[in-house]
Structure 1
């Protein structure tokens, strides 16, 4: 049976055979082309500015007029020759192409993020724009970028081609390439599992797929996805190494000129991929002119701690605020229930804004130095009228952010909703946490008030595996902040890891709003974990992978000021883990929180940068740590 993209392509081609482009459109297209095309050119390369880094190889088949793209790194295979092309109502831009001209430029930018793996960013990419035309004059520009940590391409079309019916884009991997894939779900909460490229079962997978070839690791991703287009997933047939791009919509409306999202390949050794900000770097610059009100931080999250009953109780929420204030945690999040009343929405009451107890809670929390974040269902914000009711009200009350839930779609209409709500929440100075959502895809550079997104099988799930937890730093969390909500110590038996591993997740997983999911009682019973949470930042100056292998182990170091925070998670049997302290030269005091026979224990050691230290890891365990500069008299890294 033909795949859905193949069927769309066949439909489009039959339409083209039966109906020629109108004469006016052809004339317009032909007059916009260059005076001369170099028909001798049929192969091009685009290399990163740094030597020996990824190189894209683009080739035009003179017989079929099809274009393919492959990627190498240090002369070794990353992506095998793979088809590129797009089909619209009025033009099949996947075959019959002839080369027109090439244009090159250097992309050299600096920007500062509000959250993520590091705040100060430097972008250096070589860009090549290759222009092609069909025999009828239809135009396609293929824009390719290469950076030290990745290769990406996008299609640029003039207006007048009608709806997009699909792409012929695909990624061809060596069949024996190791693959870590998450089954596709509309909420992007699929579990990651390991296969080879060919043995993965037939089906659909998230576009955040990680592969290992002889050229290193490659994470497939997407960037600059807006309501102008449709979200992508990967379609795969078992027995091949081919992963096809399939769109969420059968028809993507295009009302004028179109630039599709970037098809990105984050590429390098595992440390490079883990540290990469490539998908952010590809995205447009910030649309928030003054971001002084955007402040990342740790959050006491009350859903797994108290559920809807806590959300319906002002007294319970005040108690949570008291606990956050005692710990100097900057935020408390009120989840579902706060605008429910007797099973009905409080907003059905015309006086709901007056009757709500939320303003009282916000004022109470403000006096204690705690900001309030509130959960809200997407259906409460799905029209301009509803947003005009809710968002100014929340801003007037003094709410700091909104956790918007249950979008559960990457179809074009929902992406257009994202475009609207992003602009409007920014205008009302509300930070955003998206749940049941799309993946980051560069959104945090363009809209830096988006502090985190779910799009992950997180702490709420009862079927997570330790292998899944150790894969996330190399897949989902590479492309942006991830609201996994660690710290749910009370869920013994419902999570696959140890207490020390649960502490380590707060560093191993990056999130601009790091939501602690435990109960105050569970923290009080684990004072070492509680003290660590008091210290851990939510914004980082740098990130490094110390050691790791997807599905087995992940140890990350993240710098906040002059201290490095360490988070390690492991899958499998108990072991003595060896961790290299590659955080800089000199002498370091390293304090770790580990699993002991009767609970969490703290160990201290003085090491030199580059030394390796041992951690006793229980089955499916882990650890957390802090490294600070040692000098005589320094006995702790805690402040």
Structure 2
């Protein structure tokens, strides 16, 4: 509403649609009493203005909303979340909640709820080097805790360096997060220039990732140390991803036969923690040695 305005936002939505891209727009959830300076404010809190705004967004070609800065877990806010979801569903808009409470199964009642933040995601890695240093351990904990509860908008996968910080994880570790973490819409942290610098087989892997998953299995892991998950695409094919959060190399033995996999492609760490290597997987067993804070993916 301030930087480019509604008319330019509509123009951007039309251009995006020509590229088969749908836009979500950001809103401050709060009313006039909120002290956060980011706008739009005092638009969604009252039912009448909220429904008018949602109808306007739909007419503009916007596909969803990202609503931020929720004020607590009191009953009034629990009701407010569901009012937002109900009105957004009636307007035909997807929803992503940020600065928010934990998901509690709402996406079963409201299928337009794509994801919720409720996690110290990639954003926190940019705030302080101590957070950046803890990324590997944090990421190896989340599949067993926060993400087991519901969809999580961590905004994973950064190959580029974080401005003013030293990223401790390898690029293969970051790639693995694209499968390891589940979100109704997976918003990647990587910028176009950084993705363009990666090998073609890495770009191809990300392009072909399923937009949703049909099933998940824990293959191996221990919270805070390492995690290996298998996720099944709607067509039945299984993807496997794993990360090593420790400071020492770790060898992981995989029985791919349990997933019905007899062949595939392994992408893992290369000679450095900023490079990749790949090889064909033949047979039902696979041994992968991950360097400290390294990772891997297996695609069918």
- TM-score, structure 1 normalization: 0.41
Equivalent residue in structure 2 for 1:477, among 131, 147, 165: 147
Residues 256 and 262 of structure 2 are in contact (CA less than 8 Å); yes or no, is this contact kept in structure 1? no
CA deviations 1:473-525 (Å, max 9, x no partner) are 00001111110111222234454421101000011101110011111010011
**Does the alignment pair 1:403 with 2:40?**
no
Residues 252 and 289 of structure 2 are in contact (CA less than 8 Å); yes or no, is this contact kept in structure 1? no
**Superposition deviation, residue 586 in structure 1:** 5.3
**Does the alignment pair 1:510 with 2:182?**
yes
- 5 Å matches for 1:319-338? none
**Superposition deviation, residue 604 in structure 1:** 1.4
Q: Cα distance 1:372–1:541, how it changes in 2: closer, same or farther (>3 A)? A: same
CA deviations 1:297-318 (Å, max 9, x no partner) are xxxxxxxxxxxxxxxxxxxxxx
Paired position in structure 1 for 2:109: 446
Paired position in structure 1 for 2:37: none
Q: Cα distance 1:431–1:579, how it changes in 2: closer, same or farther (>3 A)? A: farther
Structure 1 CA distance for aligned equivalents of residues 50 and 261 of structure 2: 54
**Does the alignment pair 1:533 with 2:206?**
yes
Equivalent residue in structure 2 for 1:552, among 204, 225, 232: 225
- TM-score, structure 2 normalization: 0.86
Task: Please tell me the root mean square deviation across aligned C-alpha atoms, in Å.
Answer: 1.8
Structure 2 CA distance for aligned equivalents of residues 408 and 616 of structure 1: 45
Structure 2 CA distance for aligned equivalents of residues 371 and 550 of structure 1: 36
| SS of residue paired to 2:24 | strand
Equivalent residue in structure 1 for 2:264, among 581, 584, 590: 590
Structure 2 CA distance for aligned equivalents of residues 435 and 474 of structure 1: 21
Residues 158 and 171 of structure 2 are in contact (CA less than 8 Å); yes or no, is this contact kept in structure 1? no
- 5 Å matches for 1:559-638? 559-560=232-233, 561-582=235-256, 584=258, 588-598=262-272, 599-608=275-284, 611=285, 613-627=286-300
Paired position in structure 2 for 1:378: 29
**Superposition deviation, residue 446 in structure 1:** 0.9
Structure 2 CA distance for aligned equivalents of residues 574 and 407 of structure 1: 40
Larger Rg: 1
Structure 1 CA distance for aligned equivalents of residues 140 and 71 of structure 2: 25
Q: Cα distance 1:382–1:393, how it changes in 2: closer, same or farther (>3 A)? A: same
**Superposition deviation, residue 626 in structure 1:** 0.7
**Superposition deviation, residue 587 in structure 1:** 5.4
Where in structure 2 are there 5+ consecutive unaligned residues? Answer: 31-40, 126-130
**Superposition deviation, residue 575 in structure 1:** 1.7
Structure 2 CA distance for aligned equivalents of residues 400 and 571 of structure 1: 37
**Superposition deviation, residue 382 in structure 1:** 1.5
Paired position in structure 1 for 2:157: 487
Structure with greater proportional strand content: 1
| SS of residue paired to 1:515 | coil
Residues 574 and 621 of structure 1 are in contact (CA less than 8 Å); yes or no, is this contact kept in structure 2? no
Structure with the greater relative contact order (CA < 8 A, sep ≥ 6): 1 or 2?
2
Paired position in structure 2 for 1:524: 196
Q: Cα distance 1:445–1:578, how it changes in 2: closer, same or farther (>3 A)? A: same
Structure 1 CA distance for aligned equivalents of residues 243 and 124 of structure 2: 18
Q: Cα distance 1:556–1:397, how it changes in 2: closer, same or farther (>3 A)? A: same
| SS of residue paired to 2:147 | helix
Q: How many residues align?
A: 275
| SS of residue paired to 1:537 | coil
**Does the alignment pair 1:360 with 2:11?**
yes
Q: Structure 1 runs of 4+ off > 3 angstroms? A: 491-496, 582-587
Structure 1 CA distance for aligned equivalents of residues 71 and 202 of structure 2: 34
CA deviations 1:37-64 (Å, max 9, x no partner) are xxxxxxxxxxxxxxxxxxxxxxxxxxxx
Paired position in structure 1 for 2:128: none
